[in-house]
Structure formats: C-alpha cells, structure tokens
Amino acid sequence: MEIIEGKAFIKGRLRKAAIGIEDGKIVAIKKVLYGKTRNYGNMLILPSGVDVHVHFREPGYEYKEDFSTGSKAALLAGITCVADMPNNKPAIITNEAFKEKLRKIKGKSYVDYALYAGLTENLVKDANLYKLYMSGDNEIFVDYDLLEEMLKKIKSKDAILAVHAEDKDCIARKGKNLEEYERNSPVECEGKAIKRIIEANKRINAKLHICHVSSASNAKFLRKKKVSFGVTLHHIMFSYKSKFKKEAMGKVNPPLRSEEERKELFKMVMKGKVPLLESDHAPHLMREKEGFENAKAGMPGVDALLPIMLYFVKTGRISLKRLVKMVAENPARLLGINKGSIAVGKDADLVIVDLNDVKKVKPISKCGWSCYEGMNAVYPRHVWMRGNIVVEDGVVEEPMGERVK
C-alpha cells in the first residue's frame, strides 16, 4: 500500500488525512497510516477533474488535435477522464466506425476516456453514451418526428443522451461578427430546443444531459426541471463584446452571449447553481479562424478549465466544495464511473494543488492558441491517475489511459 498525506478534500471539506492506495484504488482514509508515505504538507489533495465534453478530433481531423495531444493537454490541467464527441470523419454513427475509433486511439490516451456515438435511427450497439445535435448542421441529426422513438431506445439501453440544444428551424449560422452571429442564433433558439427535448422525454424519462447551456434563463429552467446540464468556461468568461486577437477566435456554437447574460451565468456558476462544468474543447488551427463568416466554430479549453477555476477558488470567487461538485463529483456521477471523489473504493485519481502557485495560461493544445492565454491560473503540481503519478511538476509519464464507458 502506498500512502499520501496532506490536506485532502473529503466529504465536502478539507482535512488532514492519510490516504492509502493499492491496485489503483483508494483503500483507506485515516488520520494516520503506516508505510511508505509521500507527504504533501500544506498542498491540497483534490479529486481530479472529469470533462464530459471534448472533441479530440480523431479520427479524421488529426491535423487540429489527436487523442494523444488532447489527452495530454487535459492531464496537465488536472483532468484524468474525458468523454469524447462523435463528430469525427467518418462520423461515429455505425458499429464499424465506433470500433475503428476505439482501435485507433488505443494506447494513445494520457487520460481515461468514454466515447459518444452519434444518435441515429440505428443505435451503435457498443456505445452507452449518445449525442443528439438538434441544430441539424451535421450528419449526426435526428428528425424531430423521430425524437420520442429514439428516446425510448435510449431508455431501453439505460444509456445517456447528451444534447446540443439549438432549434434547427430557429437558428441561422451567419453574421459578419460575434454580435451578428449571436443575433442570428439567439438564446430563444436554445430555449426552444430545450423545451422540445424535455417535452418529448416527459413520458419516457430517458437520461438526458443538455450540453453547453449558454444563458442563465435556460439554466434556471433546467434547474427547475431537474435535468442535468453543463456550462462551459467560455460562456462565463467571454461575451460577444470581448476582444480577441481575431474576432473569429470567439466564434462558437452556441454563440457567445451578451455581457449581461455572461455575468448572470457567471454568478450562477460561482454560487454552485449549475450541475457541472464542461470544456467543449473544440480546437481548430488559427488559419481556420481567418475571415469571420467562413471561420470554423469552436475553441480549445480542456487545458484551461480547471486551472482557471482553481484560481477563482484562490481569490474567493467560488468555494472549493462547489467547484469539486461541478468538475469532479457530478461529471463522474453523470457518466456512472468510479471517480470524482476521495472515498474508499474510488479510483485514486487525484490532483495536488498549491493555490499560491499562480501561473499564466499558455496554450497546450495541438492547435497552438487559447483565448485564455495570459489569464491567471493554478495548475496542479502532481496528478495521480488510478494510483500512478502521471504528472510531476510538469513532467508527464507515458500514456496509460483506458476506456471507462
């Protein structure tokens, strides 16, 4: 048994503890344990992050990112498990494509991973996470007339359906700048799609998760309905008035909202009134951000999510208890994986954090840029995954990620 000691976040609070680790699991938590011990002094021992929404671009778009580079960026930022989206090339909508993706990424990932399949009439049988795009702007789209039928299939598999909620009949992916782009895909389009999927699911009660909710009004509606949803870092940090080196760097779907919406959503996050945070890490090369109207939508973020939020803990903007729920406990619970908290029987996935060690965000993703560059952040000093030290003062061990879902 290996033992680590320090100020650990256990059952909602920090306390001095000795944590026993064996075969990748936490096997004991006591005031004192005897054996080979690593003492972290006054540094914090926290559960590592789980990001339920990334696009690592493999297969098909490896020139932007691949599973190796994306997962390494995640690991350096304290994320030890991700769920990767299916809008690859080919799209992950068949059993063959799903198996081929698993084959291609095996042995490459620095973090544990789950994979979504796209929701189509014929469910990918080996998947238990599915993604629905209600915006209809790619081939992973289900006609609204088939929604109830598909939700019944999700329910019968006891699977999870993640939803990109923007109504296809309402949005228009056009505009010469961020403000115009948002005006053509307003908050109301997100709300309309959310209400449509909830209404379709009313009698079925399949497991739903609404991705990247971009407005406080829609977040409040989902809280009232007790439906899982995620909020991204970029929707609480940036608005369509934010200044970027190139305006298209801020082009994302759903769009960045008004400064008033951003502030209100930011407050909800800081008060712990959203279930979870997700990065929606969607990297493109800078050359794909040339010319706003034709620029690709999406930005990198898995390498900034937890470090920036830890800085907000340091400055008192958010409590550690609320942050751990949103980046570890609730995401792990949503995916149904044995991670997300420091408890006996859980995977020993941990980050060691010194809140006084403030650094500036630098791009880690393969795409080479970040809208968060230069912002204050707290990166983990060490990262543990399944009982192994996989990051030690910026030095990364060999990839050992495994599929968990």
d(C-alpha 60, C-alpha 106), whole Å: 16
Whole-number pLDDT of residue 331:
99
Angle between helices 187-200 and 216-225 (to 10 degrees): 10
Q: What mean pLDDT comes out for the span 141-148?
A: 82
3-state secondary structure of 179: helix
User: In Å, how far are 117, 205, 298 from 120, measured between CA atoms?
Assistant: 9, 19, 23
**Which single residue is written with the structure tokens 């994302």?**
252
Tokens representing 188 are 């109301």
Q: What mean pLDDT comes out for the span 229-240?
A: 99
**Closest to 252 (Cα-Cα) out of 50, 49, 53, 52:** 53
- Does the pLDDT at position 141 exceed 90? no
d(C-alpha 222, C-alpha 212), whole Å: 12
Tokens representing 29 are 């938590």
The values of phi and psi at residue 216, to 5°, are -65, -35
Residue 135: pLDDT band (50, 70, 90) is confident
- Does the pLDDT at position 226 exceed 80? yes
Q: What mean pLDDT comes out for the span 356-366?
A: 97
Helix runs in 158-258, H state only: 178-183, 187-200, 216-225, 233-237
Worst-scoring range by mean pLDDT, 34-48, 68-82, 136-150? 136-150
- Does the pLDDT at position 145 exceed 90? no
Q: Which domains does the chain have, with CATH numbers?
A: 48-338+364-377 (3.20.20.140)
d(C-alpha 135, C-alpha 78), whole Å: 32
- Does the pLDDT at position 138 exceed 70? no
Tens of pLDDT along 187-219? 999 999 999 999 999 999 999 999 999 999 999
Q: What mean pLDDT comes out for the span 362-381?
A: 98
Contact criterion met (CB below 8 Å) for 172 and 183? no
Which H or E element spans position 231?
strand 228-232
Whole-number pLDDT of residue 140:
74
Whole-number pLDDT of residue 139:
66
Query: Which of the residues are catalytic?
Result: 280
Residue 143: pLDDT band (50, 70, 90) is confident
Whole-number pLDDT of residue 198:
98
% residues pLDDT > 70 (the chain)? 99
% residues pLDDT > 90 (the chain)? 95
> Quick one: CA torsion of 97, 100, 102, 107, rounded to 10 degrees?
-160
Tens of pLDDT along 69-118? 999 999 999 999 999 999 999 999 999 999 999 999 999 999 999 999 99
Q: What mean pLDDT comes out for the span 45-56?
A: 99
Q: What mean pLDDT comes out for the span 330-359?
A: 99
User: In Å, how far are 103, 173, 312, 395 from 319, measured between CA atoms?
Assistant: 41, 37, 8, 29
Whole-number pLDDT of residue 202:
96
Residue 137: pLDDT band (50, 70, 90) is low
Whole-number pLDDT of residue 146:
87
